[in-house]
């Protein structure tokens, strides 16, 4: 279970493959019972028996949601979940001034990328979430840190809220950068602007890493952004869930 600022992503793995995954909003006003009822409905709709769940691992960047969701796990699954922190066994060397400040999502993504693509050399991992995060990783698992930028969704929403005449828009890739109406012009500015940001940071990071890096992209807008860039090597929509699965195997006693 990955608890983000905007969404909570839940995945069920049967030991061989992901058999179900869902996304629900990260409402801070929901109680543990509300989360339990919502998840129960999702499990039922997906044909998955809640009683078949043997263990749960959680990562969160939203501390206020950790308690109600952990309580939900105990009450509705009968399981005390394992919570990812910078102190758990990750297999990484955290070269960071204050490791406890690293978001759990960044750690989880780094673990997954290292296990999946560690043989590719230096890694740059980009996650398009509420914030857009960039992480750099050496082949030996040394986590070097990275960059954090405002996310695409909140940036677009801020534009709508602060500019009286600009409407709320759906993010669809425009055909051209030069657009002849306001909605398409906004789409051009947001999408091509963030692609430019991504490519610019990738280029700078590659230079700092010695010139070479394999670029992994994930997150809600990852596929859209990667489609406009020649610097992205692979898109992994389930990178965070894969990282949680790996961390579970590394930290839970079987």
Domains delineated in the chain = 2-83 (3.30.420.40), 119-245 (3.30.420.40)
Q: Where are the alpha helices (DSSP H) in 1-103?
A: 32-45, 63-72
Catalytic hit among 33, 105, 181, 233: 105
Residue 213, annotated as binding a ligand: no
Phi, psi of 249 (to 5 degrees): -65, -35
**pLDDT at residue 254 greater than cutoff 60:** no
Res 176: pLDDT: 93
CB burial string 182-214: b at 16+ within 10 A, e below: eebbbbbebbeebbebbbebbeebbeebeeebb
pLDDT tens digits, one per residue of 40-61: 999 999 999 999 999 999 999 9
- Check whether 6 is labelled as a binding-site residue: yes
Is the confidence at residue 253, as pLDDT, over 70? no
113 carries a ligand binding annotation? no
127 in a known ligand binding site: yes
Q: Tally DSSP H helices, then E strands, for the chain.
A: 7, 11
| Residues 212-231: tens digit of each pLDDT | 999 999 999 999 999 999 99
- Rounded CA-CA distance 90/94 in Å is 9
Q: Which two tokens stand for residue 68?
A: 């109600």
pLDDT, residue 132, reads 97
The answer to whether 232 is a known ligand-binding residue is no
Q: Is 119 a catalytic residue?
A: no
pLDDT tens-digit profile of 7-47? 999 999 999 999 999 999 999 999 999 999 999 999 999 99
């Amino acid at each position: 279970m990955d608890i983000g600022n905007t969404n909570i992503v839940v995945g069920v793995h049967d030991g061989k493959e992901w058999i179900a995954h869902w996304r629900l909003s990260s409402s801070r006003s929901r109680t543990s019972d509300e989360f339990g009822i919502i998840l129960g409905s999702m499990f039922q709709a997906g044909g998955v028996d809640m009683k078949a769940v043997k263990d749960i691992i959680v990562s969160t960047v939203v501390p206020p949601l950790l308690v109600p969701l952990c309580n939900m796990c105990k009450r509705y699954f009968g399981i005390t979940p394992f919570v990812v922190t910078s102190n758990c066994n990750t297999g990484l060397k955290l070269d960071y001034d204050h490791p406890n400040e690293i978001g759990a999502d960044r750690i989880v993504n780094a673990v997954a990328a290292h296990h999946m693509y560690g043989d590719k050399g230096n890694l740059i991992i980009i996650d398009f979430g509420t914030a857009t995060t960039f992480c750099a990783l050496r082949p030996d698992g040394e986590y070097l840190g990275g960059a954090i930028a405002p996310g695409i969704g909140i940036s677009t929403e801020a534009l709508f809220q602060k500019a009286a005449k600009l409407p709320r828009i759906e993010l669809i890739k425009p055909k051209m950068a030069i657009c002849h109406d306001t909605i398409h012009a906004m789409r051009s500015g947001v999408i091509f602007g963030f692609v430019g940001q991504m490519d610019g940071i990738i280029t700078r990071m590659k230079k700092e890493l010695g010139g070479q890096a394999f670029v992994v992209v994930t997150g809600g807008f990852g596929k859209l952004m990667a489609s406009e860039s020649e610097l992205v090597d692979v898109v992994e929509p389930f990178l965070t869930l894969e990282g949680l699965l790996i961390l579970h195997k590394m930290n839970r006693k079987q």
